[in-house]
């Protein structure tokens, strides 16, 4: 009889130890919610509140400025305001197009690099492997501003490769136009860039540098845990390298790859430091983060928050996609363990 209370007390202590003190748990949850509310939710709400400070019409006017009524006679000041609004709108759309174009180039290149780097560091053991892994992590430890400055010192007019880089000519992809068959090939570029630094090419190079660890780092832990047994079995049965990759490796890492792509895309959209250095603060080289800075410096706060809201929506979409992938990965892992 005496042992029953002791057993009950022991069981209670074990449950409390396993679940934690309720007061401590409540305090930790409250601190977490408070921290998220102050540093994430409040700024997030403020971005949209400032963006819609002038109503929906003011929000849309940042992208599509209003046209004057037909037949209306406008004064000089009104004409100037409308012309300035049209110029600002075109610069905003140019920043959006450049941001999307940079991501469209950076993300596929990082997919190729990330797969190759993760494959090399997880499936093989070779001299210099630790150094390669450290180099992959280098952008995490180097300031983006420093990375941009390195590109300027290497490819700028007075840089190490400045003589070659400043005379390099390359076509503007956005200037591709239909010219007809009279000139031979029906498509041609209407504009060429000269040089690397202070051009979109430099922005792409800087964005690649700051984003290339994400795909590789998302794939490496999974490939490391999976080992190379399945690939070796496929190769021993006569499968080619490409067939082994598409039938064995790619299906096993598809969710980790998509996870890395989402992180890479989000960083490409939001990169500021390195891009700011190599862009030269030229209007045609503005990405969305640079455009937000210029609007803010011009005291056009509502327009700055409007463009910022677009980046915020992209960030929210990234978070939702990231959470969905983590849930899908956990469910597939639990299903695989259940079958075993």
- What single string gives the DSSP state of each residue in 153-195? HHHSTTSTTHHHHTT-EEE-GGGEEE--GGGSSSEEES-EEE-
199/278 Cα distance (integer angstroms): 8
Q: Which residue has the tokens 């999974």?
A: 222
Average pLDDT across the chain, whole number: 85
CB of 144 closer than 8 Å to CB of 272: yes
For residue 254, name the pLDDT band (cuts at 50, 70, 90): confident
Q: Which of 77-86, 93-102, 180-189, 220-229 has the highest mean pLDDT?
A: 93-102
pLDDT tens-place string over residues 146-182: 999 999 999 988 888 888 888 888 887 777 777 777 6
160/296 Cα distance (integer angstroms): 35
Phi, psi dihedrals of residue 314, rounded to the nearest 5°: -65, -40
318/312 Cα distance (integer angstroms): 10
- Report whether pLDDT(272) > 90: yes
Spell out the residues 6+ positions from residue 170 whose beta carbon is closer than 8 angstroms to its own: 192, 193, 201
Shortest CA distance to 49 belongs to which of 292, 294, 305?
Answer: 305
**DSSP, residue by residue, 128-151:** THHHHHHHHTHHHHS-HHHHHHHH
pLDDT tens-place string over residues 281-333: 888 899 999 999 999 999 999 999 999 999 988 888 887 887 887 787 777 77
Predicted pLDDT of residue 327: 82
283/275 Cα distance (integer angstroms): 13
CB of 159 closer than 8 Å to CB of 196: no
CB of 63 closer than 8 Å to CB of 288: no
Alpha helices in the chain (DSSP H): 3-19, 22-36, 42-51, 55-61, 76-123, 129-136, 138-141, 144-155, 162-165, 200-226, 229-236, 241-244, 250-270, 273-279, 288-297, 301-339
Phi, psi dihedrals of residue 300, rounded to the nearest 5°: -95, 70
Give the residues across from 188 on adjacent strands. Answer: 177
């Amino acid at each position: 009889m005496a042992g029953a209370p002791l057993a009950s007390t022991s069981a209670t202590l074990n449950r409390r130890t396993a679940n934690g003190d309720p007061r401590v748990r409540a305090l930790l949850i409250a601190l977490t919610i408070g921290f998220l509310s102050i540093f994430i939710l409040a700024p997030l709400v403020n971005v949209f509140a400032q963006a819609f400070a002038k109503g929906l019409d003011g929000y849309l006017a940042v992208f599509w400025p209003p046209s004057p009524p037909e037949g209306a006679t406008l004064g000089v000041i009104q004409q100037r305001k409308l012309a300035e609004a049209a110029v600002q709108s075109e610069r905003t759309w140019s920043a959006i197009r450049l941001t999307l174009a940079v991501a469209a180039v950076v993300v596929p290149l990082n997919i190729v690099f990330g797969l190759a780097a993760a494959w090399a560091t997880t499936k093989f053991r070779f001299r210099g492997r630790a150094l390669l892994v450290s180099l992959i992590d280098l952008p995490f430890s180097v300031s983006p501003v420093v990375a941009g400055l390195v590109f300027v010192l290497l490819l700028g007019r007075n840089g190490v490769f400045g003589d070659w880089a400043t005379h390099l000519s390359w076509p503007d992809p956005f200037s591709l136009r239909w010219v007809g068959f009279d000139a031979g090939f029906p498509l041609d570029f209407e504009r060429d860039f000269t040089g690397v630094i202070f051009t979109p090419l430099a922005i792409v190079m800087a964005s690649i540098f700051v984003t290339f660890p994400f795909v590789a780092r998302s794939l490496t832990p999974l490939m490391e845990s999976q080992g190379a047994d399945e690939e070796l079995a496929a190769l021993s049965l006569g499968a080619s390298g490409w067939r082994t990759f598409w039938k064995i490796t790619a299906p096993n890492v598809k969710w980790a790859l998509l996870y890395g792509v989402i992180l890479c895309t989000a960083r490409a959209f939001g990169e500021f430091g390195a891009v700011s250095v190599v862009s030269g603060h030229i209007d045609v080289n503005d990405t969305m983060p640079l455009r937000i800075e210029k609007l803010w410096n011009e005291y056009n706060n509502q327009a700055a928050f409007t463009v910022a809201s677009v980046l915020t929506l992209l960030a929210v979409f990234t978070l939702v996609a990231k959470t969905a992938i983590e849930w899908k990965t956990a469910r597939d892992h639990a299903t695989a363990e259940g079958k075993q």
